């Protein structure tokens, strides 16, 4: 356990009302995967000895009652889960902050000032402790692993806050952003989101933005973009492109998941597809009750489709009731998650419920299912490091 908790540096001077926050441990019961002690030991050794990366998560504590999240976000201060991260087995987390729930100054998300406030507050908090560090280069990743620290890569799921101003990409980069999406479910000036009824793809401005992102060394994400937007962004980019948290539409046909063509386009750039576990998205017909087993059905499909060098994990989890978060923001942002096939609703995704437990269970599942050490090192983080070497400056 760490001695520091978020905003301790203020010594209680904040004076803002704070609802009870969700716990970092034991909010739900542990996952029972049937792993042997030897399998767990091997999994834990591989996690400790190698760079392990979550390509997409929100490693912060949310209110115990998710209905209070808008008021919590209005304070501008989300609380990093320092204890949970210390126990996660992770080297790096791509942290997308408040993202589409950033309603610091109003009720409309994606405002530039709100994003900058969130980014600055989080980094001010991290700067007052030493167990978690901010990552801006590949050398930072290696240094974090050597020192036994956890690194945060700050990112955004959409470039919506830049409006029609490319220079705002430079500003965000200068403030520490190292990964950014093209569009969220809702479209923007760069391209179509995945909830758009007509997929118009990447715009002329979007192509200019991709070029600027390449010039900056800003990793591009197309997880929430439409299929055509993602394919065209990959074609326009001269650097690897990420799909940080997604799954295969061939396994579960909903708008939130991706076509084979979109998945192949990412691999063709040298990029990586991270398997998502946001509730009620990466379900499968083999496992319609959403769990780690459903997610691994998507992982195995993508592995066969694009190869071992282009898959990883971006669970898209947090500390708190993720299903409750979706309910709280259902009227504000679109997840495009309406399912075309019936499935059992779940209160949480068993085995992939929060950033602390995710990679322990993923690694044990990989061992249990016969993956070699070499392939595990790739999918647990090595593929992402290799791609970042071709993206970041």
Q: Please report the pLDDT score of residue 17 as a whole number.
A: 58
Q: Please report the pLDDT score of residue 333 as a whole number.
A: 54
d(CA 291, CA 351) in angstroms, rounded, equals: 6
Domains of the chain: 43-389 (3.20.20.140)
Q: Rounded to the nearest 5°, which phi and psi values hold at 53?
A: -130, 130
3-state helix/strand/coil string of the chain = CCCCCCCHHHCCCCCCCCCCECCCCCCCCCCCCCCCHHHHHHHHHHHHHCCCEEEEECCEECECCHHHHHHHHHCCCCEECHHHHHCCCCCEEEECCCHHHCCCCCCCCCCHHHHHHHHHHHHHHHCCCCCEEECCCHHHHHHHHHHCCEEEEEEECCCHHHCCCCHHHHHHHHCCCCEEECCCCCCCCCECECCCCCCCCECHHHHHHHHHHHHHCCEEECCCECHHHHHHHHHHCCCCCEEEEECECCCCCCCCCECHHHHHHHHHCCCCEEECCCCCCCCCCCCCCCEHHHHHHHHHHHHHHHCHHHEEECCCCCECCHHHHHHHCCCCCCCCCCCCCCCCCCCCCECCCCCCCHHHHHHHHHHHCCCCHHHHHHHHHHHHHHHHHCCCC
Chain Cα centroid distance, residue 307: 21
Residue 189: count of CB within 10 angstroms of its CB: 16
Q: Please report the pLDDT score of residue 336 as a whole number.
A: 41
Which residues sit opposite 154 in a β-bridge?
95
Q: Please report the pLDDT score of residue 2 as a whole number.
A: 74
CB 320 within 8 A of CB 63: yes
Q: Please report the pLDDT score of residue 273 as a whole number.
A: 98
pLDDT tens for the chain, residues 1 to 393? 778 999 999 988 877 657 799 999 999 999 999 999 999 999 999 999 999 999 999 999 999 999 999 899 999 999 999 999 999 999 999 999 998 888 899 888 899 999 999 999 999 999 999 999 999 999 999 999 999 999 999 999 999 999 999 999 999 999 999 999 999 989 999 999 988 889 999 999 999 999 999 999 999 999 999 999 999 999 999 999 999 999 999 999 999 999 999 999 999 999 999 999 999 999 999 999 999 999 999 999 999 999 999 999 999 999 999 999 988 887 555 544 444 566 789 999 999 999 999 999 999 999 999 999 999 999 999 999 999 999 998
């Amino acid at each position: 356990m760490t001695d520091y908790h978020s905003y301790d540096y203020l010594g209680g001077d904040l004076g803002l009302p704070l609802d009870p926050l969700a716990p970092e441990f034991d909010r739900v019961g542990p996952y029972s995967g049937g792993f042997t002690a030897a399998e767990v030991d091997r999994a834990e050794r591989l996690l400790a000895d190698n760079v392990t990366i979550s390509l997409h998560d929100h490693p912060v504590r949310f209110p115990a009652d998710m209905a209070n999240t808008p008021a919590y976000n209005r304070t501008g201060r989300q609380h990093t889960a320092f204890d949970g991260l210390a126990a996660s087995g992770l080297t790096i987390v791509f942290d997308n902050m408040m993202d589409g729930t950033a309603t610091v100054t109003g009720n409309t998300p994606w405002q530039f000032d709100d994003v900058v406030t969130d980014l600055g507050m989080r980094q001010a908090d991290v700067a007052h402790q030493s167990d978690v560090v901010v990552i801006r280069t590949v050398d930072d990743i290696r240094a974090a692993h050597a020192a036994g620290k956890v690194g945060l890569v700050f990112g955004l799921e959409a470039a919506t806050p830049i409006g029609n101003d490319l220079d705002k990409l430079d500003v965000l980069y200068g403030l520490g952003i190292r990964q950014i999406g093209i569009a969220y479910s809702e479209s923007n000036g760069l391209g179509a989101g995945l909830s758009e009824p007509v997929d118009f793809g990447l715009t002329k401005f979007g192509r200019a933005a991709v070029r600027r992102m390449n010039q900056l060394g800003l990793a591009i994400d197309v997880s929430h973009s439409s299929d055509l937007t993602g394919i065209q962004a990959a074609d326009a980019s001269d650097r690897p492109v990420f799909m940080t948290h997604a799954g295969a539409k061939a396994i579960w046909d909903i708008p939130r998941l991706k076509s084979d063509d979109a998945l192949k386009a990412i691999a063709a750039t040298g990029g990586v597809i991270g398997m998502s576990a946001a509730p009620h998205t990466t379900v499968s017909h083999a496992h319609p009750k959403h769990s780690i087993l459903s997610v691994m059905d998507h992982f195995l499909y993508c592995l066969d489709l694009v190869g071992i060098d282009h898959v990883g994990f971006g669970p898209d989890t947090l500390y708190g009731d993720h299903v409750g978060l979706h309910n709280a923001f259902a009227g504000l942002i679109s997840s495009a998650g309406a399912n075309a096939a019936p499935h059992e609703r779940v209160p949480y995704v068993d085995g992939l419920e929060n950033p602390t437990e995710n990679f322990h269970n993923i690694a044990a599942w990989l061992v249990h299912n016969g993956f070699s050490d070499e392939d595990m090192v790739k999918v647990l983080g090595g593929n992402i490091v290799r791609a970042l070497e071709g993206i970041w400056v």
